[in-house]
Every structure is written in structure tokens, then in C-alpha cells.
Structure 1
């Protein structure tokens, strides 16, 4: 009887623990009533209602942007509030809409993702369709900046804001237009502050953070011995920046070569071949550790002249073999013509000794004859007797 009571108690506790565990791990309800509103043309606010059955502070919420992104590049954000704000730049997104996913996390820490609700999507549309802008540039100088675009675009109004988006959006008050470019002069310091641009055609707009460009610094070149000295005046803006200079050059008929230099305030050097004419182009950009500012390539700077190559070695390489060949041919010809003098026929010694051993005095050589002297003429001598 005692065993039965203990078994019943064990089964009852097990069942209670199972029910409690299942209730504790049940996923929380998802957010409801997702909505959004634009705080300004750059910033959107997404909000939702508290899930049913939950009180404030019982759960956290997570959200992420999944617009045209792979799962490997999606990052989630956590909040204790039932809303979040996000910046929306159409040129960065490449569209006029963005999709967010929001879900409830049942734990007290956003690092714990096992106990979470199903995600609820919401698609955010911009206030106007996205406008396509071609060839937009912002050239900065010591007094301000000149932002311009291709005149192929529809007539547009330019608005700008510095720093965060909570500041007042300002409209360009110094516009200009020409056959080459349309744009606006802005009296702002874009080097020390972030600037955001809104271009509005009326029916559509485009929002973006412009890339800042400076005039190309002038390249100074001088030659000392077999070295070039290259130097640039400091840019008129961003004097505190760490500048990197890219130099591209061509010499003689060789392909173009590009080099990067970070001059420490003194001219940089590179090899110089005085036989070649050089054509240089250079541009400047900030180092990767500071705000991105760059320039385009400047005008082509020429130095030196192309000199005709030294043909001495080529002449030697051609003439010397010809002379040697002619000498060899003449030598062979002379040898063949005067072979009997240069290399006379020598009697075979074995034949001479063989005849001597056989006692034949009138031996003959097998390959030639011995020298025979020419007989001298003999005159007859007459003796006359003298008469007394």
C-alpha cells in the first residue's frame, strides 16, 4: 500500500513538472497592429501593439530589416519599447520600399532566441516613388560645396540637412542650370559634418548621402639624376586628413603603371629613365580610417622626350657574325685550292721499309715516286795534236 502511494505521488509530480515546463516554454504571442509613419523624408518610425495576455516589461521585442538581404547579412536589433526608428536612404536601398520583421522574445534577454514568437512582417513605402538621378557630384572647397547633376534628369529641387535627421530640412537657395550641368551652391562645411541630400522632382524623390569630391591637386615634377621628385600642394580642405596620392604614368611604349604614395610632407621619389617621355596623372583620397573624400584625375603632365634607342649593340650583333662567316668561307676556299701545298702527300713508311727488307733497290712507293735528278748535258771533248 505504501509502495502504491509513493508511485502515485511520483507520477503526479512528474505530470505537474511536465505541464509546468510546457507552459514555461510556450512561445509568446506575436506583436499585433504593426504600423509606420515618416518623421521626415529620411526617417521612418515603426510601431506595434502589445501582444494579448502580456503586461509591460514581461517580454522584449526584436526586429530586423530583410529587404533583399541574405540570411548571412541580416542582423537583429532588440528593444524594450513597442517601436523603433530607422533611416531610409533610397539610393542605398536601390528601391522605394523596405520590409521589416518583428517578433516577441519570451525571455528577459535578447541573447536567448529559443523562446520567441512567429515574426510579423511589415513593408514600408517611401513618401514618393524613387527618382533616378544620374551623375550626381558634390565638389567641396574652402568656402562651401557645389553639388550638381546631369541635365538629362528632370528639373529637381535640392534639399539638405546636416548631422542627424532631426534638424530642419533646408532648401537650396543658390541653384543654377546650364547645358552641361544643373546644380546648387551650398554654404556648408561638409568635411566636419555629415550631409544628406534630398532631390525632389515633384512626382518622385531620391535621398542619399553624397560622396564628397575635391579638386585634383596639382602635380609638381622634377628630375634629379635617375630619380623623379613628385610633390603636391596640400588640399584646400581636410588639412587634418591623412591623404593618399595615386600616380598613374606611361613611358615610351610601355603599359600604364599606377602607384600609391603617402608623402610625409616631403617629395616622394620614383625611378627616372631619361631616354623616355613620361605622361603623369594623379589624384588624391583620404585614408580608409577617416571620412571618405577623393578627387578625380588631374590633367596629364608630360616630362622628357623619347630618344632614339642606341643601335650600337644591334649593329655589332648583326655585323660581327657576317664578318666571321665570310672569314670562315674564305678560309675553306683557300684550304681546298692549296691543299697540296698545305697538306702534301706523305709516302707510306711501311712500304719503304718493306722494299728495303726485300733487297730491292729499285723500290717504288705505292703512293708516289722518289726524287730523280735531271741529267746534266755533257759536251764531247776533242784533243788536237800540235805539229812541230
Structure 2
């Protein structure tokens, strides 16, 4: 029911900002709506009827109770219907009013081989006190920037590298938005960024080893007949970074790789590199690493204490180490240390040869540096195993088995091996009693008679 308040309901506004202030161009429609809202209850009171509570409902829920005896029933229906149409028109106008015009004078300019300055002007149709944002987005999906639109002219610097884009050019878009979550509330303006030389892959396997005061970089040229020039600096779009561009003035060759020492002190920032010839160019971020850590191995009781030497760069508390060992040519076992702790313990078998390798890795909270695995470091020797215990464990059961077998065989042939010997006392007793017959209690030895051949003797005369 109407309570005498002539202000608009709270659910009519999309936010707490007054409608006239948010959309100055909708003032005429809003003024008409306010007039109808105020006058309509006054018309009911003038006709002697109870003022009605006016609310906005969807068209399918609009219910109007018409009094057949009241000549003002048609008038109230017409006013309510007109009020509903007016609300719909204001809502539609409000939705279109959020589509801001795009920025103007959007252009780009190269500041150095890595940095492009983007510049644009705020739309002239928007007042200076209108709160808006400008959202910029380029071809690489990770390149996006949101800028608050409180000024008239703007300049933003971004790094662009040829390794980030496959096509020849970059396309950069910019929107005028109410906030950076609604990106397509207006038509974008765009600019095309082109390199001053055609892009080409001039080197491969470009990597740098970081020391405290120098970075030793090496690469393999794609075409050794081309003369390459290398420029480098820390990545960034600030003026200090742009002015720090340096040239590799003392390149040298080691085997198949070309090398150069970059005179940069260690920093957590990436290193941007430009390699160019007379006809082409290539820009990229150098792949950095640190030298593999050196290992110190000590015997402590039944354990080996393995310690890694921290790299020259970065805080010691930022490093963690992966130590791999292989005892007696068995499977390799790897173990990670705690952050800032360079020492681990490994159970030690003195009869085994241990092979160790390690690499360093910086914590994600410090930087993204790491190292390759170090050369293999050995400790101990492979000794032949002591076979005494093994021989005893085999010989003793074998001897016992043989003894048992011999005992069994002897028991079965005990009569042959151990014959019954007659009792001599019985023989002497019978002899003393005068017995002519000898009673033998057991079998005596009976000699076998020998065969005697008869001899024939013949006499011969002397004359013969």
C-alpha cells in the first residue's frame, strides 16, 4: 500500500548512484516517470478513492481490478499500462547506455628492440569525472592490462618478443569498460604492431650459466655464414631498463658453439636478447641456469653425509638440492633436501661403490633458476663378498647328510661288516674236560686243501 512516500522504490535502480547522474541523456524519460509516480496517487485522492500501491511487475503478472461503476477505472488502467511501458523503455535505455565509445587516437611506437609504447585518448563524449577503465589485450593471451580512466591522454609500455608470436605482426585491442570484468561492453579500438625487420630463427639452444658478476652464454648458429650481432638487457619497460641495452663485443667459439660473456650482475628479472643480421632479427628471453653444485662426502658411522656447495648467486635459504645415489650399480635413488639445507644422509655399505650426482633448484618464492646434474662422484669400492659363512652353511648340512646315509647302510649290513666272533673260553673249557669232540658254537675257518700233482721219476743207464 502507498504510504505517502513519492520516491522511487529501491529495486528500481541498478546501483546506489542516482539515475540522472549515471546517465545524463536519460533525464527526460526519468523526469516523466517521476511526474507520473507523483501525480497518479493524487488523482485517486481527488476522485475520492483510496490511493493504490504502484509497483512494477512483468506483463504476464499485471493484474488490474477495474470498478465497473467507477468512470475512472479505464483511466487507472491506462496510466498503469503507460507506467509499465515507461519502465521498460528506461530499462532498455539503461542497458544501451553502458556501452561506452571506444578510445580514439590509438597508436604504437617502438622505444627499443623489446619495448612498444601504446598511446590513446579518452573518448571526447565522456566527461572527465566519468569513472571508466581501459582494458588492453594483445595476441599473446597472457598480455592484458587494465588502466583506470581518470585522465585524458594515456601511454603504456609493453615488452614484445618475436618468440611469443607466430604471425608477422601483433594486434592489440582496447575497450572502454565500466570495470575490467566486463570486457565487451563497448566496441574495441585496435592497433597493429610490426617489427622493423622480418623475424627469423637465427640461433638455437641459447643458454646462459649465471655467476655472481657475469653470465656465460652459448648458442648454435643456424647459418654459420651469417654475421650475427647480439644485444641484451634485463627485461622491463621502465626507462632505466630501456637505457641499459648492451652489445656483445667479444664473442668467441668453443667447439660447435658460439659464446659470449654478458656483463650483468645477478637479478631475479629475465634477460631479453636480440640477435640480428642485416636482413632479419629475433628477440627472446634467455634460458638461465647455475653451475651444478659440488659434493663433499664423509663417512659417519654407518652413514654417508653428502653436502652440496651452494651456488654463487641468490640467498642460501632459497636453494634446495636433489641428490641421487646408486649403490653397487643398483637402481638410482634420488632424495630432495629441505629448503636451505644442503646436506643429506645415506645408509652406507662398506663393500659397495656409491655413485653420486646432484643439482640445485631455487625455490619458487625466490626465482626460477636451477642447474643441470653434476658429474658423477664416487665413494668406496666394490669388494668381493665374504664366502666363509656361505661355505659353512653349505658344508655342514652336506656332511651331516652323508653321515646319516652311512649309518643307515652300516645298520643294514651289520652282519658282514661286524661278524660274530666265537667265545674262546668255551673251547678251552672243553679241552680241559677231555672232550675229544670239539663243539664249535660258531663257524670256524676251514682251510681249503691244496691240489698236489704226482711226480714221476725214471732211471737212466750210465751208458745212455
- Same structural fold, with TM-score higher than 0.5 when normalized by the shorter chain: yes
Correspondent of 1:62 among 135, 139, 142: 135
Pairwise CA distance, 1:180:
3.1
Distance 2:163 2:107 in 1: 24
Pairwise CA distance, 1:23:
0.9
Contact persistence 1:48–1:83 (CA under 8 A)? yes
- Residue 185 of structure 2 corresponds to 116
Counterparts of 1:1-388 in structure 2, within 5 Å, are 1-26=71-96, 28=99, 31=102, 35-46=107-118, 57=130, 59-65=132-138, 67=140, 77=146, 79-80=148-149, 84-92=156-164, 97-105=169-177, 107=178, 109-111=179-181, 113=182, 116-117=185-186, 124-127=193-196, 128-131=198-201, 133-152=203-222, 154=224, 155-162=227-234, 164-165=236-237, 166=239, 167-168=242-243, 169-191=245-267, 194-239=270-315, 242-262=318-338, 268-330=344-406, 332-334=408-410
Superposition CA RMSD, Å: 3.8
Contact persistence 1:221–1:231 (CA under 8 A)? yes
Change (3 A) 1:274 1:41: same
Pairwise CA distance, 1:268:
4.2
Please list the CA deviations of residues 229-259 of structure 1 after superposition, one character each: whole Å capped at 9, or x if unmatched. 3234443333555222222222212012222
Distance 1:143 1:292 in 2: 18
Change (3 A) 1:55 1:217: same
Distance 1:267 1:59 in 2: 56
User: Runs of 5+ in structure 1 lacking a partner?
Assistant: 340-377, 380-388
Change (3 A) 1:76 1:195: closer
Pairwise CA distance, 1:177:
3.2
Distance 2:183 2:95 in 1: 9
Larger radius of gyration between Structure 1 and Structure 2: 2
Deviates more, 1:139-148 or 1:122-131: 122-131
Please list the CA deviations of residues 246-291 of structure 1 after superposition, one character each: whole Å capped at 9, or x if unmatched. 2222221201222223586785432221111122222323222212
How many residues end up aligned between the 2 structures?
335
Distance 1:264 1:58 in 2: 48
Distance 1:328 1:207 in 2: 88
Q: Which structure carries more helix by proportion?
A: 2
Contact persistence 1:241–1:290 (CA under 8 A)? no
Distance 2:374 2:122 in 1: 60
DSSP-derived class of the 1:150 partner: strand
User: Runs of 5+ in structure 2 lacking a partner?
Assistant: 1-70, 416-434, 437-464
| TM-score (normalizing by structure 1) | 0.70
Contact persistence 2:310–2:342 (CA under 8 A)? no
Distance 2:199 2:259 in 1: 22
